[in-house]
Amino acid sequence: MKRLMMFAAIFLLFAGEQTVSAQDLANYPAAFVDIGFGARPLGMAGAYTAIANDVQSVLWNPAGLAGVPFVQGTFSTTRQFGLIPYQMAAAAFRFGVNWVHSEGIILSGDDAMREFTFLMGAAYEKRWPNGNYLRGGTVVSYRNASFGKNAPRGSGAVTGSVSGFAVDFGIQYSPAEHYILAAVLKNAVNYLQWNTSTIGKYSEGTPMQLVFGLGAVNILNFNFDLDIEKTLYKDIPDKFAFGVERPLFKYFYLRGGFSRGLVPSDLSSTAFGGGLHHAFPRGFRLTLDFAYILQDLNNNFRLSVTFDLK
């Protein structure tokens, strides 16, 4: 319990410090853009910080990894804007009573810009006899990319590579039955080293993201999540996302949600989705999730497969 309370205190102090120190910086990612993975959270428009409780939490809120019952794995693939291929795979394993470990990879792009990310995460849960709990988690990511390999020799095109790391922190707290408070700070610590054929080596950071979540689970058989992303940069607006999920009959889930920037000119999206799961003998369960996202730039269909072993 002391470890989790210390983790939460460090998280809040660090988030507050970064809000002050980063607010004057304009910072848009040049690589390793977070497009979102997992058809379950995307079917709720990305509103997943509070109710995250499965292997996909490694990408949304590492504290949610503590909800993995034993062993889970997931895989998804997509083409961003119908052009850029992305693949993601992750697995999570419970060890002991309170700890869960996770690993994952993200592959994207082609010879013009090819990216690789390897993730390692861990989460710890303290649960009280009345069912309330506090969870803390972290994810460390190694990032590597190359670009310009599609250019003909002697063309003068810019080529090079980039490598670095990032660390995410997340917490979830259930103060009462059905309700969850959460926060996640993505890229809390990060570093990228670029090496280009034109200007040589230089370093830069990846934008941090601070998200607060409020969740309600099993309210009249519905799950709700409201996320507020508090910007750390003056020229990037705050935004929010709201999602809802409902089990239907015995094997189905229905989902929906929307996200909006808090300024009229910012991008928005609306999402619909669902899931189908089936339990097989010997504790094996397979889940197929899908989501369709209506966006200002390009509509997108997502599909992911998740398995459970108990």
Q: H or E element: which one contains 196? A: strand 179-196
Question: What integer pLDDT is reported at residue 22 of this predicted model?
Answer: 46
pLDDT tens-digit map of 96-132 = 889 999 999 999 988 778 999 999 999 999 999 998 9
Q: Residue 279 burial (CB < 10 Å; 0-12/13-18/19+)?
A: middle
Give residue 256's pLDDT: 98
CA separation for the pair 310, 287 (Å, rounded): 14
For residue 153, what pLDDT is reported? 64
What pLDDT is stored for residue 121 in this prediction?
98
Which residue, among 170, 181, 113, 174, has the nearest Cα to 139 in the 3D structure?
A: 170
* CB of 75 closer than 8 Å to CB of 305: yes
Predicted local distance difference test score (pLDDT) of residue 25: 46
* Tokens coding 152: 């003909």
Q: Is 12 left (phi over 0), alpha (psi -120 to 50) or beta?
A: alpha
Classify each residue of 92-131 as buried b or exposed e, where b means 16 or more C-beta atoms within 10 Å of its C-beta. Answer: bbbeeeeebebbbebebbeeebbbbbebebbbbbbeeeee
The confidence score (pLDDT) of residue 149 equals 73
Question: What confidence score (pLDDT) does residue 33 get?
Answer: 82
Q: What is the DSSP string of 36-90?
A: ---HHHHTTTT--TTT--STTHHHH-GGGGGG--SEEEEEEEEEETTTEEEEEEE
Question: What stretches in the chain show pLDDT beneath 50?
Answer: 10, 12-13, 18-26
pLDDT score recorded for residue 20: 43
Which residues, 6+ apart, have CB-to-CB distance to 265 below 8 Å?
A: none
Contacts 24+ apart (CB under 8 A), 11-19: 11/136, 11/169, 11/171, 11/183, 11/185, 12/183, 14/169, 14/185, 14/188, 15/183, 15/185, 15/188, 15/210, 18/185, 18/188, 18/208, 18/210, 18/232, 19/210, 19/230, 19/232
Tell me which architecture the domain covering 2-309 has in CATH. Answer: Beta Barrel (2.40)
Q: Which class for 307: exposed (0-12), middle (13-18), buried (19 or more C-beta within 10 A)?
A: middle
User: How much is the pLDDT for 156?
Assistant: 63
Tally Cβ neighbours within 10 Å of residue 198.
Answer: 9
Which residues, in sequence order, are CB contacts of 18 under 8 Å at separation 6+? 185, 188, 208, 210, 232
Neighbouring-strand partners of residue 72: 92, 308
- 151 DSSP β-pair partners: none
Instruction: Name, in order, each residue with C-beta under 8 angstroms of 245's C-beta and a sequence gap of 6 or more.
Output: 40, 43, 44, 51, 222, 223, 224, 253, 254, 255
Is 20 strand, coil or helix?
A: helix
